[in-house]
Structure 1
Amino acid sequence: MDKHWKAMWIWGEGEPSPRNEWRCFRNTFAYEGDPGRPVSLSITADSRYVLFVNGYLAGRGTTRSWPKEQMYDTYSIGHLLRPGADNTIAVLVLHFGLANFYYLAGRGGLIAQVESGDEVIAATDRTWRTSKLAAQDSTSPRMSCQQGFAEVYDARLWDEAWNRPGYDDASWSAALEIGPAGTQPWTRLIPRDIPFLTEEKKYPSKVMSLARVKAPRFTAAIDLRNQMVKDSITHANPVGFTGLLAAVLVMEEDGEVAISFPTGTRADDLYVDGIRCTPAHVDQPETYYTLTLGSGSHLLLMDITSGDHGSVFHIGVDSEAAFTLRAPLHAARNEEGNPFTAVGPFDAVEYIDYKDGRELRRDHPDYLRLKTIRTEQELQGYEGWMQPVSRQLYSAVDVFGASVWRTLSEKHRVPQELQFAVLPTQNFAQLEPFPDGDCEIVIDLGKERSGFIGLELDAPEGTVIDAYGVEYIKDDYRQHTYGLENTFRYICRSGRQSYLSPVRRGFRYLILTIREQRGPVKLHEVYIRQSTYPAAEIGAFRCSDARLNDIWDISRHTTRLCMEDTFIDCPSYEQVFWVGDSRNEALVNYYVFGVTDIVKRCLRLVPGSADMTPLYVNQVPSAWNSVIPNWTFFWAIACREFISHTNDTAFAAEIWPAVQLTMEAYLEHLNGDGLLEMKGWNFLDWAPIDQPREGIVTHQNLFLAKALRDAAAIAAAAGQEGTAAAYEEASSRLTEAINRHLWSDERHAYLDCIHADGRRSDTFSMQTQVVAYLCGAASGGRKALMEAYLKFPPADFVQIGSPFMSFFYYEALEEAGQFELLLADIRAHYGQMIDNDATTCWEMYPNFSENRANPNQLTRSHCHAWSAAPGYFLGECILGVKRLEDGWSKVAVAPQPCGLTWASGIVPLPAGGEIRVRWNVSDNRMTLRVESPADVEVEVRFPEGMQGEVELV
C-alpha cells in the first residue's frame, strides 16, 4: 500500500540542479507525546542525505534507485525526541548535479515526514529553512566517472551546531516547494526493501611512516569532459573531443621548470612556444617534462584530444624560479578567474556501446595549425574557438595531484607517541611542524575498509589536512588510485574539532598530509565508520591447510565490503552495481552470509533500464547506456538461481515478464544461421580472447543458450509451462547452431567468434571451451575433448585471465569432478594474494595487460567481489554441502578432501538455520558429522573409493 504523503518536495534558491552542492535543511517543532510513543520519520533526497535528529546522526541514504521508483527510508526516532521541548530535524543533502554510474541526472530535492500513528507531526514544506553549506567548495573534483565528488571543506566557514536545537537559522532562506510526492522526476516513492547498513567504528592498526614532504608550487584539476561537451552532465556515456588547453607561463627570471601530468597527458602532446616537448620521465601514467625557460611569457598548449568517460585532468608546475600562470590574451578576459582557456572542441562525439557511432575527427585545419603557433599574439585569429575553463570545472585544490607528485619526500622515524592517533585512548599524537615542508603520515587500517573517514584533532586555524586513501603500499611503492580522486581536504578552524566525511570511500592505507601548519597539531582520533550490508558471519570454513583458511577469510571480507545497498564491484574505484558481477557475488554470499533480501533487490533493479533498452544495461541504476550481453544473461541465470535457492515462486511470477521481455529482445538479434549477432560490449574476460564489439561471439551465444534454459525454468516456476517449453526449444536450436557453425574440426575446439565481415577467428581460448562445457553445448566426443582441455589446457589457447573467469572455470571443474585441480588453482592464484599481504581478493591476476608497464602493480582494484570464488567453492565442493532441491529441502553432503586431513564449516540456509559439517580423514577412512534442521533431508556421499562413519544430528 502506498504511503500517504503530506510532505512536499523542497529545495533552495538558485539552480534546480547545481553541480556538487551541499545544502542544509532544518525544521524545529514542538513535541508533546509520551517518551515511549512510536514516532517514525520517512525521508528521501536527490542525491544523498545525512539525517540528524536533535544533533544525533540518525541515518544516511538515499538507497540507489531509479527516479521513477525513488526509494525512501523510514526511521524510528521516538527515543531521540524530547517531549515538551523544541525538537530539530536537520538534513544535509549532497546533490551531484550530474549523471554517473549509480545516479541518473535529476534535480535537487528533499522530502521528509514525521508521523506518530495517523498524525503528521512535521513535514517538509516552505516553513523549513535552508542554506548552502558554505564550508564545502563546490569546485572540488569529481571522484571518478562512476561516482560523485571529493570534498574540500573549510571548517572556518560553518557553525557545526547547525543541526542542533537552539541554533539561530534566521539568516537562512525559506525552502522552495517543488511539488507533492509524485512530482517529476520522482514519479513514485516506494519504501526501502532492505535493512539499514551497518556503521561500525574501526580504528587503524598503526601509523606506518612519517615524512617531510613538499608539493609542487602549482597544481590544478580540471573536468575537461563537461568543459568540452557541455551536455555530458546529463548522461554517463563516454565522449570524445579534439581540442587544446592553453595557458601562459610567466617566468620572472631564467630557470628550470617542471611540468607534470600526474594522471598522464591526453594526446601525449605538450607544446611550449610552438615546440613539441619530449617527456623527461614517464612513470605510467604519470608524465613529467623538464624545461629550461628564459624570463618572460611562454605559451603552453596541451593537446587534450581524447576519449573521456569523466576522469579528472591534472596538471602541476614547479620551479625554483618565481613564476605565475595566467590565461592567454590577457588574464582580464578570463572572467572565470583561472589560468586556463579551452580551445575547441573542433569535433566531439558521444559513444553508446550498443548503437552505431562515428570516429572522432582529428583533421580540422585550425586544430592542426594551432599546434604550430609560437606566441600568444598568434592566438588572436582563433578567438572564436577559445572559451575560458569554467570556474565550476576548475579546482585549484588538487589533493590527488599534490599527493602523487611530491617534489620532496624525506623519511623520519615514527615516534611511539604518534601511535596514539590510531588508538582508542585519551592520549593524543602531537605533530610538530617541519621548518620547511609538510608533514605526511601514512596510516595502515590493517585491512581494507569501506565507509566514512573520521578525524578528531586540535589545530591552529587555517591548518590544512589532506586525506588520500590507497589500497596497496609495498616498500617505497604506492599504487596511486589513477582515475579515482580518493581524497578530501579539511581546513581547520582553531582548537579542538572533529570531522566525519559524508562521502563513502574504500581503502586500506590513509595518507594524511598536514600543510600550512602554523603550530603543533594534536591528533586525538583517526578512524573509519565502516558501513556495509548487515550480514552476520554465519558461514564458516576451516581445514587442515592454513593457506586455504586465509583465502576463505579474504573472500568473505571482500564480499562484505562489496555489499552496500546492492552488491557492488569494489568499494574504492567505482562502488557500482555491475549486473554480471552480482551473479557470482550472490552465490558467494549464499555460503558465507546467507542473506537474500539484497539479492532480490539487485534482481529487481535491473529491468528498470528497459527505458534505455530491452537488452538491459550492464550497471544499474546508471546513466551509462552500456550493454554487455553476458551480463544480462547472468542476470537471468541469477534469477533462476535465487528462485531455486529460496523456492520463492512468487518472485518467479513477479520477475518473469521482465525476463521474457529481454529474452525476446535478444532472440530478435539471431541471424539467418540462428546465431546471436549484434553490436555491444561483447565481453567476458580481461584476456586477449577474440570478442569483437560486432559479430558472432561464441561465449555469449553459449551463455544465451543457458539463459534461455534458465528462463524456461523461471517460466515453469511462474506457472507458464507452455512458454517454458518454447524457451527450452529456443535453447536447443541455438545450441545446435553453435555446434554447426562455431566448431573447428581442424583445431577440435570452439572458435572464439565470427567477425562482422564473415571472417572466422583464428583465436582459440580456454574461456570459450570452458563456457561450452559449462553451458552444456558439447556432447559425446566433443565433451570428452572439453574435459581434457580443462585438465590440460593447450599452450596455444588463450589462458584464463581474471578471477572472474576463474569462477566459471571452477564451475566447469566441479561438474567434471576435477576437485584436486580446482583446489590447486585456488591455492596458486589466491595464494599469491596472501603472499602479498592481501586482506581482500584482487580484481585481476598479476601481469594482465594493464599491469605490464609497472611490475609493482599487481592488480587494479585490490578489493573486488567478482573474485571471491573460494568463499563459494570451498563450502560447496571441499566441505561438500550442496543444495539438491529448491529451497534446500534436500541437501547433499559430499566432501572432497583432496589431500586435506580435516575440514569443518557452516552453510547458512535461506529460511534460517544452517548445515554444520565436520569431517576427518585417516587411513582412507572418513569420519563425518552433519548437523541440520529436522525438515532438511540430508544425503551423504563419501568420496569415491573411501569408506566411513556418519553422525547425523
Structure 2
Amino acid sequence: MMEGLNDSVWMWNGGSRDEGNQYVEFRHEFTLSDLAEEAKLYISVDTEYAVWINGRFADSGQYDDFPDHKAYDVLPIGPYLRQGKNVLCVLAYYQGVNSFQYIQGLPGLIYTLEMKEKTIRSGGDAYCRVSPAYTSGPLPISTAQLGFTFEYDASGGDGWTDPDYRMTDAWKRAEAGRATNAYPGWYERPVRKLEVKERCGASLIAQGLFARLDESPGAIVAEVMQRDYLSHRLSRSIVKDGGSLRLPSSGGLSIKPEAFQPNGGVYLVLDMGREQCGFLELELDGEEGTIIDIAYGEHLDDLRVRASVRGKHFATRYRCGEGRQTFTHYMKRWAGRYLQLHIGGVRDTFTLYYAGLRSVEYPVEPKGEFRCPDRLHQQIEQVAVRTLHLCMHEHYEDTPWREQALYAMDSRNQALCGYYCFGEYDFPAASNRLFGEGLKDDCYLELTAPAKTPFTIPSFSFIWIVQLEEHLLYSGDFEQARANLGIVRRMMDRHTAQLFNGLLETPGSSAYWNFYDWADGLNGAGATAPGYKGLANKRFDAPLNLFLAMALEAAGRMANGCRDHTAARGYAETANKVKAAVHERFWDSAAQAYRTYAGEGEEEHYAELTQSLALCARVCPESLAGGLRQRLSSTGHGWVPVSLSYALFKFKALLDEPERYGQLVLGTIADDWGHMLYRGATSFWETKEGAEAFGQAGSLCHGWSAIPVYFYYAYILGVRPVEPGFRVFRVEPVRSVFHKAAGKIPTPYGDITVEWKQTENGLELKLEHPDGTVRQQDGEEGRF
C-alpha cells in the first residue's frame, strides 16, 4: 500500500453513515513554525472532494474507482501554507447510490499532509459537520448515469473555510472508521489531474417574466421550471440602465425590482457561445430568501432550456444569502451551452455579476496537425478534436452533459482518434484498466466502468479487446498489453467454449442488451424497458459474431506481440472458424448480402453495419467483396443505414478500395458532419437527429462522433502504424479527394510529418520521421 496514507484513518460524520447524497464539511487546524513549500497532500474519498487551504481553493475531484481498489491524489499544496496557524478544509460528498460511473461504497475521507516539520493525518484531530448549506439526503436523480441533483442555501454558508473562522458546537470530532488495510489495492491516480480554468463568458440573449402557477411540496425543480409560463420582455424593461448584458461583469447586471411579481419573477437565458463543461459558478448581490432556479442544456430548440425530459432533470435551486456572494459547485461537472435562471422573491436588490461554468479540462494539447484545401473539412477536424476533449475527464465519457459514463464502443472511437490528434497514451490505458476491473462472472464487461448495472452490451466487450490491441499498436506499450492479456484469455476461453457450429448464440436473458447501433432493428429495442424478460427464442446475430471474430484476431495479435505464439495461433484458428461459420449461416446469395439475424421466427433484416463488419472482418470472400462493397456504396440497396458513430465501420470497409470510394467517404463526412455545423453545432452530436433523438434527450456533444479525425489522419494523410508504437508505419494517402494535404502525426518516438501533392509526374511526397521508426515499403509485411 502507498506509504503516505499508512497511518491515516478513514473518517466520517458519525450520525449519517447510512444515508446517500451526503455533504460533510471537515476542518483541521494546525500550526507551522516555518514555511513548507514542498508539502504534499495525499487524499482519497468516497465519492468527491474539494480542498481549501487557508481559505484558498486548492483542488477537487476524486478519480472514478472501485470501492475495494481506491485511487488517491497527491496535491502539491506548499504555496498555500504559511507560518503560524493553518487550516485544511475539505468538503466531502458521498453519493451512496449506484450510477453509471460510481459503485456504492462506504462513506469516508482519508488524507495525509506531509511536511518536513510535521505530518497531519485524518482522524480525531479533525472536526466535521453535515453541511448546513447543501441539502443532504433524498433529492431527485438527475439521470441514472449522473446520480443526484443538488440544492444549496447560501444563508447556511458561514465562511467555514476561512482561516479565522471559529467553530461552533455543531462541529464534532470526526469519527474514525476503517483502517487503511481495508483497501488492499491502493494506487495513485493514473492520469493527470483536471485543470479548473477560467470562467466561460456568457451573454444575455433572452429575458422576461415567468409565472409559476403551482409548486407542490417536494416538487422537482427541473419539472417546475419546465412548466413555468414565460413572457418575453425587452432587456431595457428588465435590466437597469447601464447593466451589462455580457458576463462576467464588474458592474453587473442589475434587475429592476418592479419586474418581480408574486408567484413568479424574472427569467434570464445566458449563452456561453459554444458547448462548455465545468463547474457551475455564481456571483451576485442579493437578498436572503431570493430563490434562483437554474437549468442547463445544449440547445434552445424549445425557445427555452429543456430542464426536464423523460424523467431526466437538468436543474438546481440556489437560495441566496444576504449581500455579495460567490458560489462554485465542485462536486459535479455540468455541460452545455445555455443556462436559464428563474429568479424569484426579490424585494429591492438583485445584481448578477456572473452565472455560467468555470471550465474544467483534462490537460492535453492537440499535437496532431491536419491541413487540406477544403475549409469545411478543416472546420470538421477542429470541431471533432474539441468534441473529443470535452469528453475526456477522469476517463473517456460518452457525453459530458447527460451521462459522463465510460462505454467501450464510445471509448474505442475516442481512443482511435485521440492517438492522432493528442498523442495521448496514458489516458486510454487507464480507461482500459477500468473496464478490465469490471469483468463479470459471465466474462462480459460491465456496461460502463466503474459501475454495477442491471444489464450489459455483449458486443461492447468484444470491441474492448480490439481497443486493447489498437492501444498496443499505437502506443507500443507491451506492459499494458501483458497486464490485460490474462483478462482477454478468460473472456475468449469462456466464449469460444460456448460456440455452436462455430457461432456464439446471442445471450437471451434480461441481463443482456443486444445493441449494435442506433438504427432500426439493431438497437435491441425493449431490452432496457422495465419488465423485459429476454429473448423469446434461440437466436444468432451476425454483428455479435463478427465482433467476436475481430476480438479473436485482435487477441491473437496481442498474444503474438507478447510472445505467446501458441495462444496467438489458437485465436487465429478460432477466428477463421467463426468467420467461415458466419459466411455460411448469414450470407444470402439471392440478396447478395449478409442477414443480420438467424433463428426461429426472425424476419429478414439487412443492414449497412452487418455488411460493413463482414468486410472489415474479412469474412466476405474476395470474389464477393467487391460487389458487396459496391452495393454498400449505393443508395438503393434498402439496407438499414449506419449511424454517425458506426459509420466508422462502413468507411473503413469502403476504403479497402481507397481511390474508388475515397470521394464517397469524404463526401459523406462533408454532408453529415457539415450538416451539424450548418445547424450551429459547436461539438458533434450523438446521432444525426440531434436534440430530438431519444425522446428529445439527444446529446449534442458525443465523443464517438469525432471519427472524421481518424479518417483525415489515417487515410488522407495516409499514416498508419504497422508495428507497435509506429516502429514500422505505412504512408498511403488517398489521392482521389484532394490534390494535396499535409500534417503531423504524434508517435511515442516523436512526430511524423508528411506533405504530399499531385503533380504532372504523379505523387510528390515529403516525409520526415523520428529515429527508431521505419516506413514500410510496398510489398513488405509487418511482423506484428
Aligned-pair CA distance for 1:26: 1.0
Aligned-pair CA distance for 1:918: 3.5
> Which position in structure 1 is the counterpart of 2:519?
687
> Which position in structure 2 is the counterpart of 1:933?
770
Distance in 2, Cα, partners of 1:191 & 1:89:
21
Contact 1:54–1:163 (CA under 8 A) maintained in structure 2? yes
Deviations 1:33-67 (A, max 9, x none): 4443x211111111111111212211112100111
> Which position in structure 1 is the counterpart of 2:289?
462
The answer as to 2:648 corresponding to 1:807 is yes
Contact 1:615–1:665 (CA under 8 A) maintained in structure 2? no
Counterparts in 2 of 1:216 and 1:33: CA distance versus 1, 3 Å: same
**SS class of match (2:358):** strand
> Which position in structure 1 is the counterpart of 2:73?
73
Map 1:786-805; keep pairs closer than 5 Å: 786-800=628-642, 802-805=643-646
Map 1:146-295; keep pairs closer than 5 Å: 146-162=145-161, 164-183=163-182, 186-219=183-216
Aligned-pair CA distance for 1:615: 1.3
Aligned-pair CA distance for 1:481: 5.1
Map 1:610-621; keep pairs closer than 5 Å: 610-611=439-440, 613-621=442-450
Aligned-pair CA distance for 1:15: 3.2
Aligned-pair CA distance for 1:928: 4.1
> Which position in structure 2 is the counterpart of 1:61?
61
Distance in 1, Cα, partners of 2:99 & 2:242:
39
Distance in 1, Cα, partners of 2:173 & 2:491:
47
> Which position in structure 2 is the counterpart of 1:882?
720
Candidates 746, 753, 773, aligned match of 1:908: 746
> Which position in structure 2 is the counterpart of 1:836?
679
> Which position in structure 1 is the counterpart of 2:50?
50
Greater CA radius of gyration, 1 or 2?
1
Amino acid at match of 1:640: E
Contact 1:690–1:761 (CA under 8 A) maintained in structure 2? no
Deviations 1:560-619 (A, max 9, x none): 010011001000110101122101110111111111111110111112123554211121
Amino acid at match of 2:157: W
Candidates 122, 127, 130, aligned match of 2:128: 130
Contact 1:691–1:753 (CA under 8 A) maintained in structure 2? no
Counterparts in 2 of 1:906 and 1:408: CA distance versus 1, 3 Å: same
Q: Which moved more, 1:195-204 or 1:894-903?
A: 894-903
**SS class of match (2:161):** helix
Deviations 1:901-925 (A, max 9, x none): 44333222235x3223334456685
Map 1:103-502; keep pairs closer than 5 Å: 103-116=102-115, 121-138=119-136, 139-162=138-161, 164-183=163-182, 186-219=183-216, 395-396=218-219, 398-413=220-235, 420=244, 422-433=246-257, 434-436=259-261, 437-474=264-301, 476=303, 478-480=305-307, 482=309, 483-502=311-330
Amino acid at match of 2:266: C
Counterparts in 2 of 1:75 and 1:165: CA distance versus 1, 3 Å: farther
**SS class of match (1:179):** coil
Distance in 2, Cα, partners of 1:611 & 1:675:
18
Deviations 1:269-299 (A, max 9, x none): xxxxxxxxxxxxxxxxxxxxxxxxxxxxxxx
**SS class of match (2:655):** helix
Aligned-pair CA distance for 1:672: 4.5
Distance in 2, Cα, partners of 1:798 & 1:416:
56
Counterparts in 2 of 1:690 and 1:463: CA distance versus 1, 3 Å: closer
Aligned-pair CA distance for 1:413: 3.4
Distance in 2, Cα, partners of 1:568 & 1:810:
23
Contact 1:618–1:627 (CA under 8 A) maintained in structure 2? yes
Compute the TM-score of the two structures, normalised by the length of structure 1. 0.75
Distance in 2, Cα, partners of 1:399 & 1:563:
29
Aligned-pair CA distance for 1:815: 2.3
Candidates 405, 409, 414, aligned match of 1:580: 409
Contact 2:409–2:464 (CA under 8 A) maintained in structure 1? yes
Amino acid at match of 1:210: Q
Amino acid at match of 1:115: E
Contact 1:751–1:768 (CA under 8 A) maintained in structure 2? yes
Amino acid at match of 1:715: A
Amino acid at match of 1:181: T
> Which position in structure 1 is the counterpart of 2:20?
19
Distance in 1, Cα, partners of 2:240 & 2:662:
49
Counterparts in 2 of 1:408 and 1:197: CA distance versus 1, 3 Å: closer
Aligned-pair CA distance for 1:935: 3.5
Amino acid at match of 2:143: S
Amino acid at match of 1:140: L
Deviations 1:160-193 (A, max 9, x none): 343535442553011111121022xx44322111
Deviations 1:780-804 (A, max 9, x none): 322223212222254321112x211
Amino acid at match of 1:50: A
Amino acid at match of 2:235: R
Distance in 2, Cα, partners of 1:426 & 1:690:
53
Counterparts in 2 of 1:796 and 1:77: CA distance versus 1, 3 Å: same
Amino acid at match of 1:843: E
Count of residues in Structure 1 that have an aligned counterpart in Structure 2: 752
**SS class of match (1:67):** coil
Candidates 380, 386, 391, aligned match of 1:562: 391
Distance in 1, Cα, partners of 2:548 & 2:741:
37
Distance in 1, Cα, partners of 2:241 & 2:433:
51
Distance in 2, Cα, partners of 1:201 & 1:827:
33
Deviations 1:199-233 (A, max 9, x none): 121322421111111123225xxxxxxxxxxxxxx
> Which position in structure 1 is the counterpart of 2:418?
589
Contact 1:135–1:158 (CA under 8 A) maintained in structure 2? yes
Contact 2:362–2:393 (CA under 8 A) maintained in structure 1? yes
Compute the TM-score of the two structures, normalised by the length of structure 2. 0.91
Amino acid at match of 1:932: H
Distance in 2, Cα, partners of 1:620 & 1:584:
16
**SS class of match (2:455):** coil
Distance in 2, Cα, partners of 1:794 & 1:477:
40
Counterparts in 2 of 1:518 and 1:557: CA distance versus 1, 3 Å: same
The answer as to 2:427 corresponding to 1:598 is yes
Amino acid at match of 2:469: R
Counterparts in 2 of 1:163 and 1:814: CA distance versus 1, 3 Å: farther
Contact 1:751–1:761 (CA under 8 A) maintained in structure 2? no
**SS class of match (1:916):** strand
Counterparts in 2 of 1:478 and 1:496: CA distance versus 1, 3 Å: closer
Counterparts in 2 of 1:906 and 1:214: CA distance versus 1, 3 Å: farther
Distance in 2, Cα, partners of 1:685 & 1:545:
30
**SS class of match (2:516):** coil
Counterparts in 2 of 1:548 and 1:659: CA distance versus 1, 3 Å: same
The answer as to 2:603 corresponding to 1:779 is no
Contact 1:653–1:717 (CA under 8 A) maintained in structure 2? no
Gap regions ≥5 residues in structure 1: 220-337, 339-394, 942-953
Distance in 2, Cα, partners of 1:902 & 1:419:
51
Distance in 2, Cα, partners of 1:848 & 1:687:
16
Amino acid at match of 1:216: L
Counterparts in 2 of 1:794 and 1:696: CA distance versus 1, 3 Å: farther
Distance in 2, Cα, partners of 1:748 & 1:575:
41
Q: Percent identity?
A: 27
Distance in 1, Cα, partners of 2:489 & 2:765:
44
The answer as to 2:697 corresponding to 1:868 is no
Aligned-pair CA distance for 1:926: 5.1
Aligned-pair CA distance for 1:699: 0.6
Distance in 2, Cα, partners of 1:651 & 1:641:
12
Distance in 1, Cα, partners of 2:522 & 2:720:
35
Aligned-pair CA distance for 1:738: 1.1
Distance in 2, Cα, partners of 1:526 & 1:930:
49
Aligned-pair CA distance for 1:462: 1.4
Distance in 2, Cα, partners of 1:676 & 1:619:
23
Contact 1:691–1:697 (CA under 8 A) maintained in structure 2? no
Contact 1:807–1:867 (CA under 8 A) maintained in structure 2? no
